[in-house]
């Protein structure tokens, strides 16, 4: 994105642009992010960015209801989504709370837009995270038109920590989604 990244408004635009690119463009570094949740241990894992709405400030990813991340979110919905682009030298940490959509109109609408290969994963037996005797001791037999395991998770963003690595001096800013006046530069 061609702006000088010299104002907090530029930073907001930069975040919005990069996250939108992540959804649209498979080659974007913002296509995946590390979703951090807090269970017994704090943990992170890579997921694909499936949606970003710049008006509602919601990030979306898909997952299986049996996944540990769902257990974590059910216990503590506060999550952090960490993006990093090596080529742009930009890290964006997005703090917010997650809402799980399962067997509802939102999850069914997303299901209907998916290809068969993606759908298959949600019929995996035994479910993800189950111990198996051999590496291939699982199957993906489709046994209904919609999988009850399919979840669409929306993360409602609250605060963003943006960091731009630059030879002449790094730049860092905090963006408060619902309180623009509090947006601030931070010493990197």
Ligand X SMILES: Cc1cc2nc3c(=O)[nH]c(=O)nc-3n(C[C@H](O)[C@H](O)[C@H](O)COP(=O)(O)O)c2cc1C
Binding residues vs ligand X (CB under 6 A): 32, 43, 45-48, 61-63, 67-69, 128-129
Judged by CB, which is closer to ligand X: 5, or 58?
58
Judged by CB, which is closer to ligand X: 43, or 174?
43
Residue 49 beta carbon to ligand X: minimum distance, rounded to whole angstroms: 8
Nearest to 11 by CA among 187, 154, 163, 181: 163
What is the distance between the terminal CA atoms of the chain, rounded to a whole angstrom?
Answer: 21
β-bridge mates for residue 59, sequence order: 52, 155
Q: Give the 3-state secondary structure of residue 5.
A: coil
Residue 29 beta carbon to ligand X: minimum distance, rounded to whole angstroms: 12
Residue 72 beta carbon to ligand X: minimum distance, rounded to whole angstroms: 7
Rounded to whole angstroms, what are the CA distances from 45 to 32, 33, 113, 157, 188?
10, 8, 24, 18, 25
Contact 29, 91 (CB under 8 A): no
Judged by CB, which is closer to ligand X: 38, or 172?
38
Rounded to whole angstroms, what are the CA distances from 17 to 22, 86, 122?
9, 16, 31
Lookup result for tokens 């974007």 = 28
Judged by CB, which is closer to ligand X: 16, or 124?
124
Residue 61 beta carbon to ligand X: minimum distance, rounded to whole angstroms: 5
β-bridge mates for residue 161, sequence order: 93, 174
Judged by CB, which is closer to ligand X: 32, or 110?
32
Residue 95 beta carbon to ligand X: minimum distance, rounded to whole angstroms: 19
């Amino acid at each position: 994105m061609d702006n000088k990244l010299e104002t907090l408004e530029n930073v907001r635009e930069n975040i919005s642009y990069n996250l939108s690119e992540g959804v649209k463009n498979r080659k974007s570094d913002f296509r995946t992010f590390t979703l951090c949740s807090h269970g017994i241990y704090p943990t992170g894992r890579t997921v694909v960015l499936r949606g970003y709405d710049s008006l509602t400030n919601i990030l979306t990813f898909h997952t299986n209801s049996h996944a540990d991340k769902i257990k974590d979110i059910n216990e503590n919905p506060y999550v952090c989504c960490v993006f990093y682009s090596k080529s742009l030298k930009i890290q964006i940490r997005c703090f917010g709370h997650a809402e799980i959509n399962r067997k509802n109109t939102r999850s069914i609408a997303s299901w209907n837009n998916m290809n068969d290969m993606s759908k298959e994963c949600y019929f995996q037996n035994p479910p993800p995270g189950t111990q198996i005797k051999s590496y291939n001791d699982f199957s993906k037999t489709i046994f209904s038109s919609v999988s009850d395991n399919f979840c669409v998770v929306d993360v409602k963003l609250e605060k963003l920590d943006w960091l731009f690595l630059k030879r002449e001096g790094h730049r860092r800013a905090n963006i408060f989604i619902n309180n623009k006046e509090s947006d601030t530069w931070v010493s990197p």
